[in-house]
Amino acid sequence: MALHKPHPDHEERYALSGESPWATPACFLLIILAACAAYHDSFSGPFVFDDNAAIVDNPSIRHLWPITRAMVAPLTAAGATGRPLVNLSLAVNYALGGTNVVGYHVVNLLLHVAVALVLFSLVLRTLRLPSLKGRFENKARPIALSITLLWTVHPLLSESVTAVILRTESIVGLFYLLTLYGVVRSCDSARRAFWYGWAIAACLLGMASKEVMATAPVMVLLYDRAFLSGSFKKSLQQRGRLYLGLAATWLLLAFLVQSDGDRNATVGFGYGVEWWAYALTQCRAIVRYLSLAVWPHSLVFEYGTDVVRTLAAVWPQACILLLLLGATVYATIRRPKLGFAGCWFFGILAPSSSIVPIVTQTMAEHRMYLPLLSVVALAAVGLFSSASKNAGLTVVVVVASLLAWSTIQRNRVYRSAVSLWSDTIRKWPGNTRAYNELGNALDAAGRITEALANYDKALQLKPDYAKACYNKGESMLRMGQVAAALDLFDRALRITPVYFKALKAKGDALAQAGRSDAAIAAYEEALKLQPDDSGAANNLGNALLGAGRAAEAIELFQAALRVDPRDAKAHNNLGYAFSRVGRVEMAVEHFAAAVRLEPDSAEAHASYAVALARVGRLTDAIGEYRRVITLKPDDVVAYYSLGNTYARTGEWLQAVAAYQGALKYRPEHPEVHNNLGTVLRRLGRLDEAREHYRLALQHRPDYPQAQRNLAALGGPEDASATEN
């Protein structure tokens, strides 16, 4: 048996090739700089679309421990459900920065860069394999660099990098390429078992990231046959244990798919879209993806849920697709290396772009994250096969610069939700979901009239659109039109009876209408659907507190904090509840937590100040009231309470200044006039005191305290006190 020939070490390899040992680090640096240049302006874009369900409304990312909890997303966390590693990455982001969007964008870019660096290493090693080395000689590194640069800055990938939850593509892409990298490294390594383990581990992690990883074991076999062994038989003979390990990772994917209930009835057969209609739609989708890969103009963030139901509507695209599929089959048989490019493209698209309907998104550009590699690789190899190294690099630099510029322009659309959805409607009119989302964006921007018009447009196109009913109802509720909002929430619930957000909003509307018992029932029904939702628990707790059921309210607020210990609102509410039952020290503790979590919340500081005053920590209470005034200079109650607290500490001049601050914003406040009169009397300024008592009575004639204080001016100086 032949002895294994050791692989040359780094210095020997560079000496043999004549390359500088700094060549690869230089390429890595260039790739990183290109990615940063293309995405330097993408960090401020807000959460959009499924980001809200996967991050803002996802209770499972509020904890990093136990780690199993942070990995299991609820069915409503679109994009993260059934994808433990994706959900864990969001939990890490949340632990580091809450819902500050910048951190999420930074991680997305880091993931994209990591994929690019692995891609460069994989392509370089592939081009230097014995089966290809003679063809490319000294062009391997320029080709690998060209493929990586063109792919990294291509605007077709901007959706996957800039929309936060679409990091699913980069995470699965990273493990997909790492799986292949492990296989390639095993070929010339004395530690073959290690690299087999690497490939299997990467494949397993990919299965925990996104379902498209199901194609990885097959793609590895096709790669092996094309570039390593030359035949399927030899591949299986030489690496049988590897393929058994890769195939075993399908068990994890099967478990995850089964556990998430077919994505909450959105993926699979029998959910309203026939397999043949979805297949026809994919004819249009795949040809559009290819055209955007070549000429990335008029990118669309969201294509909606429309399907094609007649062959006549897409027969040109169907013909193109059949020709490409036929060419791929022929090349796979006769020219396996070329055929692998076609298999890579169609194989990775197959889970989402074949006959299995994804009813919530029939077309999506982010699905091209990995398949784009085929197009870019064929273009780069073709270029360097017909041009010199320098000429090829010149062309690549020019094209990559244009692509990067286009990506920068595209990222500007993501700067606001309004611009993103307006752009979507302009390019893909008739998209009901886009009108609904634009309505949400306009409502968040305070442009409620325009928001309502977009909700109406969505409902005009799709009368049974439950989300549009709910969103319009939320806008109406904020406008104070409670009855109209209730009608819309009920309409949404008739369309979708298990609609959590609509039930929760219905509870809010009923609470505003003073129908506390009905509100409590609605919140309880909502919590049955999502027991871990801290918002619903908070709202139910407030309703119970209003109904005099403080003990039950405390349990609800504590439950909300178990879900999200960083929920400032829950801490504040729990402080109120403890105050209501006389447990003031506990109230102080939770108000303090609310202030730590939301230091810029005037309401939190005010609540904390009241509790501090109740336990006698007057100096601390004064500091909190002053903080309220700093945050909210026209807060009359804060000035009034600050004056009362100064009066309790005997700081009369400071009390006068605080009361005068309150009167600046509300001159007719009778309680402030009364208390200011009392403090002035303490200071011996009797005429001023008398004037303020009279003003108090002028604004409130039946004010007995002011009447007694005015009468007391003729008696002992301490006959009256401030009214707290």
CA distance 489 to 495: 10
Strand, coil or helix: 486: helix
Contact criterion met (CB below 8 Å) for 130 and 230: no
Q: Is the peptide bond before 357 cis (omega within 30 degrees of 0)?
A: no
Name the token pair of 8.
């040359």
Contacts of 24 (CB under 8 A, 6+ apart): 124, 141
Q: Is 648 exposed, middle or buried (0-12, 13-18, 19+ CB in 10 A)?
A: middle
CA 654 – CA 642 distance, rounded (Å): 9
Q: What is the DSSP string of 101-148?
A: HHHHHHHHHHHHHHHHHHHHHHHHHHHTSHHHHHHHGGGHHHHHHHHH
Output the pTM of the full model: 0.83
Give the C-alpha separation, 257 to 284, whole Å: 27
138 Cβ neighbours under 8 A, 6+ residues apart: 389
Please enumerate in sequence order all residues whose Cβ is within 8 A of that of 436, keeping only pairs 6 or more positions apart, or say none: 454, 455, 458, 465, 467, 468, 471
CA distances, 291 to each of 286, 320, 511 (Å):
9, 12, 53
At position 630, the amino acid (one-letter code) is T
Quickly count: other Cβ atoms within 10 Å of residue 128's Cβ.
16
User: Mapping DSSP to helix (H, G, I), strand (E, B) and coil, where does residue 267 land?
Assistant: strand
Rounded distance, CA 619 to CA 623, Å? Answer: 7
Tell the burial category of 514 from Cβ atoms under 10 Å away from its Cβ (0-12, 13-18, 19+). Answer: exposed
Q: What angle do CA 264, 269, 273 make, to 5 degrees?
A: 95
Give the helix/strand (H/E) hosting 612. Answer: helix 602-614
Length of the chain: 724
| Tens of pLDDT, residues 337-356 | 999 999 999 999 999 998 88
651 — phi, psi (to 5°)? -90, 80
Q: How far apart are CA 15 and CA 387, in angstroms?
A: 27
Instruction: Please tell me the distance from the alpha carbon of residue 241 to that of residue 428, in angstroms, as a whole number.
Output: 49
CA 180, CA 199: separation in Å to the nearest integer?
Answer: 7
pLDDT given at position 90: 95
- Residue 712, H or E segment: helix 704-712
Inter-residue contact 405 to 418 (CB < 8 Å): no
Nearest to 177 by CA among 149, 216, 145, 146: 216
**Secondary element (H or E) of residue 234:** helix 232-238
**Closest alpha carbon to 436 in 71, 52, 87, 104:** 52
Give the three-state DSSP class for 46. Answer: coil
Contact 351, 139 (CB under 8 A): no
Q: Of the candidates 293, 408, 393, which has an alpha carbon nearest to the alpha carbon of residue 34?
A: 408
pLDDT given at position 74: 84
- Long-range contact pairs involving 283-286 (C-beta distance under 8 Å, separation at least 24): 283/308, 283/314, 283/317, 283/318, 283/321, 284/308, 284/313, 284/314, 284/317, 284/363, 285/353, 285/362, 285/363, 286/317, 286/321, 286/349, 286/353
In the chain the domains, ranked by start, together with CATH numbers, are 25-47+99-409 (no CATH), 531-633 (1.25.40.10)
CA angle 268, 274, 278 (to 5 degrees): 80
Going by the DSSP 8-state scheme, the letter that residue 81 receives in this structure is T
Distance CA 526, CA 237 (A): 57
Residues 712, 720 contacting (CB under 8 angstroms): yes
Sequential DSSP letters for 326-338: HHHHHHHHH-HHH
Rg (CA), the chain: 33
Check residue 7 and give its pLDDT: 46
User: Across the 724 residues of the chain, what is the mean pLDDT of every consecutive 10-residue run?
Assistant: 43 50 92 97 91 90 85 85 93 92 96 98 94 82 96 97 96 98 91 95 96 96 95 93 96 88 60 85 95 94 91 94 96 95 96 86 94 96 90 94 97 95 94 94 93 96 95 94 96 94 95 93 93 89 90 91 88 92 93 94 93 94 95 94 94 95 94 94 92 92 91 56 54
- For the four alpha carbons of 266, 46, 605 and 519, in that order, the dihedral sign comes to negative
Residue 462, SS3? coil
- Contact assessment for residue 394 and residue 414, using Cβ atoms and an 8 Å cutoff: no
172 touches 212 (CB < 8 A): yes
Contact 301, 424 (CB under 8 A): yes
Structural tokens at position 664: 């600046």
Reported as a single tens digit per residue, the pLDDT across 209-233 is 999 999 999 999 999 999 999 999 9
| Cα-Cα end-to-end distance for the chain | 97
Distance CA 84, CA 353 (A): 23
Question: What DSSP letter does each residue of 366-387 carry, written as one string?
Answer: GGGTTTHHHHHHHHHHHHHHHS
Q: Hey, what are 690's tokens?
A: 């008398």
Largest CA distance in the chain: 119
Torsional sign, CA 311, 317, 323, 324: negative
User: Residue 580's closest CA among 554, 606, 608?
Assistant: 554
- Backbone phi, psi, residue 358, to 5°: -110, 95
CA triplet 391, 392, 397: central angle to 5 degrees? 100
As a whole number of angstroms, the distance between CA 493 and CA 713 comes to 65
Closest by CA position to 625, among listed 598, 596, 604: 604
The candidate with the shortest Cα–Cα distance to 88, out of 72, 105, 71, is: 71
Which residue type, as a one-letter code, is found at position 69? R
Angle in degrees, 0-180, between the axes of helices 275-294 and 372-386, rounded to the nearest 10 = 40
The DSSP letter of residue 231 is S
